[in-house]
Chains A and B, each alone.
Chain A
């Protein structure tokens, strides 16, 4: 999989900054998009003609959390985007919940590492 652009959906600015640094380390040419919660992400995705290659999705966010985002996102047609959860929660209940969404490919525990992105690019 060729990762051209990544959308980071996270309400925490430090985490956004961190993810951004790791992505740049992985491949400086990757275009980075930011959304601070599910709702903002949906709005941005709806407005984009070309969807990002990957969405890194946090769970706990204001307004619309990660799971709520996934539910809404699933309702939209023709969105073949790879989604990876990126969260500090290592709870099984969250992992199971995420696995139930077909579009979720990976479940990463923060902080993001270059290795994770490499693994995804191999899919």
Chain B
């Protein structure tokens, strides 16, 4: 029955939405034409802490085209937080303009609504706000005494770390620092809100449609059924579009207050202050190991910051609970409330900075022990998750390390630091392990079959989103495979809250959850069609043929995939290994990543082409962590001194290496029936340490504070013990 042009899962097809994108026909949230639309622009606070004492909107309101200026004095009353410093999630209410209090520099303090965006932007500068400034706390070092135990995660203890350290032949105690980083998807955050009676329709760039509906319902205290959120195409998210940020609240509020559809776009500078960030982390690592390379103790203590009004703790230490076998393990997180915005999940929250600390510490310990860092990792491998005693559904980390080593020519690496030169360049190799949980969540879809001129076409609908990841393609492939209908006859429709509910894009669960939802809907449509035509459930049949044979014009079914109970007995993770060759110029301190080899064990790969794109993006973002990405806090004013792409440097093409990505052939049927695991966040995990470890190997300089800038390179000393 399988024809050549089905193009099912596992095939490296081009994106099915590629033509729409390159021809400008893919409509992003801010591009929808809405009749009678007006524009609004947020005004940001210019103090880090204090109270608004006066607001003068006279001049702003008098400008041509200006319709309304909204401040806390006239804003709609919204539901605020019920307690101090609540732990936030993807549906936490996003109240805004509710009080004169200012919590951080750049917080929204007003919104100007005008006929054109230029009029709104100009009038923003004419809103005169005076403040009673209070002393703000934005200095990480000065705030350490304020650290609290976060609501989550709990402190974790296994065995006795002190005892394990005492028994060790070698110990290590080092602290790694990662700076504030920003997601900065290419597409700016945006929302267009239109009220129609009691119902509101919102075009918004959001990763999670259903959570977006819930947030708006929570914020405005209105029924979810009155809210429609539409987000068919999204130009990158990286976690910044998980939550429904306050610009969406502002659009919905302003549309209500003015009676006109309102379009709010967050500017690139506002993307630093109003659409969340990854906070700075200080991670203290303590390791103990025997001479022959067995870990006797591993302690991972993270110090992060949150805002003064909400709490978010990045679980940096999670990786240290599960990656290596050690009898003695301790993982703690502490949180300082600062006058900065609330941070939230950014690509591989926990793992991205956490693996930098763990995998750098592993490299340091291997160097101390005089062991090959790969052998050191393999020696401490475990097929059982030490944090919960459950077996891993599959764990091919050793295979990833060995295959990568082979591809990389690891045997020919410089065995001692600072021992290989190419002209002015010092050459080094680095390795790291990667792991990332592969969650799988309940997810629904609808399949509609239509007969058309002797052919059967299928439309798949779910509220899942494609944030550039390839969701359209893999769902078309899934439907083609399970319906046995060629992919050209499959249409996928995403990102509308009127479609069946999925968990949305985030946490690397998208591919597994959405695909399983579509598979179940495809299975159901065949099952229900057989029932309808009186065919036995076991009979062999092709859904398209069945529709045609019975002269049905259309038939549809929905399906919901849920994790089965068998999965609960296992720990389900994707694994990988990163290898880099880095050349450091000894005169300039600049470095080039010459090669990167990534080996990933991520279950069934639905589309090797889009999965490669995912890993490549992760590797690039991981390289960004090392090369230059950092948001700096101004010491006297408490604002971000990095406020555009001219200051916040992401990697350019020339920075990136010759990249090779290898997916191990694998289908993890414990994870789910299709054997899919997560791939999106695995790609960034461990990358920073693989590069930093290579820089150590090249230069003998150990950098524990990212990014590794030319400034740090020129000031750093070669480590003691390196020739």
| A and B: bona fide binding partners | no
